[in-house]
Amino acid sequence: MATSTNISTFSSSFLKPPSLPLTTTTTTTSLPPKTLPKPSLSHAAVHGGDTHKSPFALSSKNPISDLVRAHEPHPHHEPDPESKSKSHYDDDDDDEKPREECGVVGIYGDPEASRLCYLALHALQHRGQEGAGIVAVHNNVLQSITGVGLVSDVFNESKLDQLPGSLAIGHVRYSTAGQSMLKNVQPFVAGYRFGSVGIAHNGNLVNYRTLRAKLEKDGSIFNTSSDTEVVLHLIATSKHRPFILRIVDACEKIQGAYSIVFVTEDKLVAVRDPFGFRPLVMGRRSNGSVVFASETCALDLIEATYEREVYPGEVVVVDKDGIQSLCLMSHPQPKQCIFEHIYFSLPNSVVFGRSVYESRRKFGEILATESPVDCDVVIAVPDSGVVAALGYAAKAGVPFQQGLIRSHYVGRTFIEPSQKIRDFGVKLKLSPVRAVLEGKRVVVVDDSIVRGTTSSKIVRMIKEAGAKEVHMRIASPPIIGSCYYGVDTPSSEELISNRMSTEEIREFIGSDSLAFLPFDSLKKLLANDSPNYCYACFSGNYPVEPRELKVKRVGDFVDDGLNGSLESIDGGWVQANPTPKEVKVVGL
Ligand SMILES: O=P(O)(O)OC[C@H]1O[C@H](OP(=O)(O)OP(=O)(O)O)[C@H](O)[C@@H]1O
Ligand SMILES: NC(=O)CC[C@H](N)C(=O)O
């Protein structure tokens, strides 16, 4: 894939808030002395007591831990009576599928930090394939390389050589807000009054448009159309000191899903929103370096030992003084995304303290117990249906076979034949194995049905390969609600289970039978942990009401080129400038 890449150097630019453009300066400037005045935030509290006990010592020489106060209820609890819509947030594209989410990584204290980030991003590649980036800190300067495409498209030996330093963060992106384009590829880096900060975010902020409008009204200039950029502006405009309290201040204003790693000249900071929608884990390498990552599979690859999750609502600060753990704000009940276990995370990861493999295998076993059917063979829709299919086959006592072979060489874009081939996209990715399917009663296990297009094509493909009967088993409950917390699902109106009964869907996809994982059985499986999950996509009950409605997509926005509002921006740039220069590019 052809890629474009940004390579940029960022150092303290001493910009005055409120404006925080993501422009760069190559001037290396030493930072002003940091002062640590009395605390002024009311919602922060040191983690401790029985809940969220950190295995790391909380006390250190760093005075941050002295700056925190007691819990207060968080505004996230309050439902927004005006916000009833389940329409999707803006800027999505035409994709029909739930898409992966972003992956983040952060490393402190390893001389090969950027190389390790690069490897970790490979392990997280399934979470985002639109763009990748790394920011490394060397001699107090934040050096950034970002590009569109896969990690292997963006980085090579010489690029990594340009990212020395023992402190780095990285990101792989799938867009939820803001178009899929280079300027929206993270990490973002910005200079503010007291230094530079880099950010890598997994999740989606449900109130970013309101925040952005207010920041713009006060003079901020945005350079991207990503929700994530508002966090940088909020940090820059915060009145709090020191930096860590600016982060806490910013996080108190944003709502929705965020697992974030920040980097400054001397700190790595990991933050998870109070509901813990998206995962974020912490580990350590044998040389003592600290690693944060979206999934444990990234820790495994770089030989970091999993220590624990970053807790919902926690801010973990790593610097030369050690590790600090702060409670961002009072804890609502966690609402961790159940879809991480159903679809997104790799089966070899441990997510929210549970093995994803074990979860999926159990989903399959439940389906076999609750929706049995006489069959000769169990097959999976690879890859995400494989583990559940293994569980189904084992429980049903029926052989599991590879009835569909997946091509691993199909990218997101391909040239369609001029003469229409029916079900072309699915055929390109999946091929039926006639030897497995012919004359058989086949159970097909997939992880989910969204619009129903994949299932109907697969059923037809399997029948054309000679199957006598095709029985679809879906290892999740019906999806009836769009996600606003980092999963790019279509609007609720487009979800087939929102419009049709199970029998109607069966008829639509053309299978002989169809069964979903019963919602109650899923909750029963999670047992005491069940209330700690977000099931909005199955129930339509949103832990944080999406306050901002989607009106139209970014591509539909009419650009008047006159103001900086979201509607006038394509990817963050006012269209009046046809070839904008976004950052100073060095070494390309
Ligand atoms: O009902 P639909 O709208 O067709 O969407 C559902 C399908 O989408 C997902 O697969 P995807 O094609 O994204 O491939 P993957 O499992 O390989 O990621 C999912 O695993 C289902 O197969
Ligand atoms: N999938 C994600 O987590 C996306 C992060 C961020 N909202 C973006 O669109 O870039």
Distance CA 104, CA 109 (A): 17
Q: Is the CB of 453 under 6 A from ligand 1?
A: yes
Report which secondary-structure segment, H or E, holds 232. helix 229-237
Name which of 533, 107, 77, 75 is nearest 279 in CA terms: 533
* Predicted local confidence at residue 44, as pLDDT: 30
Confidence of residue 10 (pLDDT cuts 50, 70, 90): low
Quick: pLDDT tens for 83-104: 333 333 343 333 445 555 799 9
Q: For residues 520 and 365, what is the distance between their CA atoms, to the nearest angstrom? A: 15
| CA atoms lying within 13 Å on the CB side of residue 138 | 17
| Least confident interval from 297-311, 483-497, 562-576 | 562-576
Atom of ligand 2 nearest to the CA of 91: 9
**452 in contact with ligand 1, CB cutoff 6 A:** yes
Do the strands 430-432 and 513-516 form a parallel or antiparallel pair, or are they unpaired? unpaired
- Complete DSSP assignment for 150-219: -HHHH--HHHHHT--SSEEEEEEE--SSS-SSGGGPSPEEEEETTEEEEEEEES-BTTHHHHHHHHHHTT
Q: How far is the CA of 47 from the centre of ligand 2 (A)?
A: 28
The protein residue with its alpha carbon nearest to ligand 2, atom 8, reads 175
Alpha carbon distance 224, 570 (integer Å): 8
CA angle, residues 513, 519, 522, in degrees to nearest 5: 105
Atom of ligand 1 nearest to the CA of 99: 13
Ligand 1: residue of 96, 340, 430, 450 to mutate (most ligand atoms within 8 A of CB) is 450
Ligand nearest to the CA of 171: 2
User: Chain-wide mean pLDDT for the chain?
Assistant: 80
ipTM of the complex: 0.95
**Residue located nearest, by CA, to atom 10 of ligand 2:** 175
* Host H or E run for residue 380: strand 377-380
Tell which CATH architecture fits domain 357-407+421-533. 3-Layer(aba) Sandwich (3.40)
Residue 278 is encoded by which pair of tokens?
């998206």
At 312, the pLDDT band (50, 70, 90 cuts) reads: very high
Identify the weakest region by mean pLDDT among 159-173, 315-329, 455-469, 562-576.
562-576
Residue pLDDT, tens place only, 427-483:
889 999 999 999 999 999 999 999 998 999 999 999 999 999 999 999 999 999 999
Q: What tens digit of pLDDT does each residue of 497-556 get?
A: 999 999 999 999 999 999 999 999 999 999 999 999 999 999 999 999 886 744 323 322
pLDDT at 554: 30
Q: Is the pLDDT of residue 271 over 90?
A: yes
Read off the pLDDT of residues 365-395 as tens digits, 9 standing for 90 and up: 999 999 999 999 999 999 999 999 999 999 9
Q: How confident is the model at residue 414 (pLDDT cuts 50, 70, 90)?
A: low
Given this model, what pLDDT does residue 472 score?
98
pLDDT of res. 94: 38
Angle at 507 (CA atoms; ends 395, 516), nearest 5 degrees: 30
Topology of domain 55-79+101-335 in CATH is Glutamine Phosphoribosylpyrophosphate, subunit 1, domain 1 (3.60.20)
Residue of higher predicted confidence among 52 and 493: 493
Rounded to an integer, the average pLDDT of 565-584 is 26
Is 486 touching ligand 2 by the criterion CB < 6 Å?
Answer: yes
Domain ranges of the chain: 55-79+101-335, 357-407+421-533
**pLDDT at residue number 48:** 30
337 is catalytic: no
**What is the spatial distance between Cα 188 and Cα 557, in angstroms, rounded to a whole number?**
24
